[in-house]
Chain A
Amino acid sequence: AQTVTQSQPEMSVQEAETVTLSCTYDTSESNYYLFWYKQPPSRQMILVIRQEAYKQQNATENRFSVNFQKAAKSFSLKISDSQLGDTAMYFCAHTGANSKLTFGKGITLSVRP
């Protein structure tokens, strides 16, 4: 069974600083996708970044980048130059052969002015 673990329930960061959100997962598959989703207070689920497991290069999207360690089954999200609008809940997710998205429990990120 696929599992996704986000062990930190919440984090806080000063505006303009960098923060890293941790995620580990468990799967027996070799081909899969990993995602980070953001859920602001509006409750809308927004895709932040996607990583294909067969790609060694870490994905980046502007201020967001990942550290994907396939052997360690680790998939952390780094947010650079944090902005007040980054305040949200962040979910790590995995999808594999069954095409179901398995979510972690989420982490609440607060950006302080």
Chain B
Amino acid sequence: NAGVTQTPKFRILKIGQSMTLQCTQDMNHNYMYWYRQDPGMGLKLIYYSVGAGITDKGEVPNGYNVSRSTTEDFPLRLELAAPSQTSVYFCASSSSDSMWRRSYEQYFGPGTRLTVT
């Protein structure tokens, strides 16, 4: 199993450009997440999804958009890139317990290092 894959691994954007970060998981997980991690800091949740067609904002959603048309894919769209979006982006997925619908542990992709100049 590949687990959670992310592309690209690295990207340099100019201010104002747009791009899509791809995320795919092959574990049939219903929950998927996008995080950003700034240098020396913890992870901040950007958006998450509890199933195909359902997305919700996390802690830092401004400047980003997501869609979830399939169980496997959860792309993150950056519109009008700004230097403040320079960060490492992680995608993650998890299953949930059937009784309380709480997420089990999340499995993370290798990350995308994005620089906006």
Q: Which A residues are within 8 Å of any B CB, using their own CB?
A: 31-33, 35, 43-47, 50, 91, 95-97, 99-101, 103-106
Whether A100 touches B107, Cβ cut-off 8 Å, given contacts A31-B100, A32-B102, A95-B102, is: no
- Best-surrounded residue of B48, B90, B106, B111 (most CB of chain A within 10 A): B106
Point out the residue from B37, B42, B88, B107 that lies within 8 Å of A47, measured CB to CB: B107
The docked-state distance in angstroms from the alpha carbon of A46 to that of B104 is: 14
Q: Is the CB of A100 within 8 A of B58?
A: yes
Which of chain B's residues 70-117 have a Cβ closer than 8 Å to chain A? 88, 90, 92, 94, 96, 100-108, 110-111
Q: Is the CB of A105 within 8 A of B42?
A: yes
Chain B positions within 8 Å of A31 at CB level: 100, 102
Chain B contact residue count (CB 8 A cutoff): 26
Point out the residue from B31, B88, B101, B103 that lies within 8 Å of A43, measured CB to CB: B88
The docked-state distance in angstroms from the alpha carbon of A27 to that of B78 is: 33
15 contacts between A and B (CB under 8 A): A31-B102, A44-B108, A44-B111, A47-B106, A50-B104, A91-B42, A95-B102, A97-B101, A99-B48, A99-B50, A99-B96, A99-B103, A101-B106, A103-B42, A103-B43
Chain B positions within 8 Å of A106 at CB level: 41-42
Chain A positions within 8 Å of B92 at CB level: 45, 101
Q: Is the CB of B108 within 8 A of A99?
A: no
Q: Is the CB of B110 within 8 A of A101?
A: no
The docked-state distance in angstroms from the alpha carbon of A103 to that of B105 is: 12
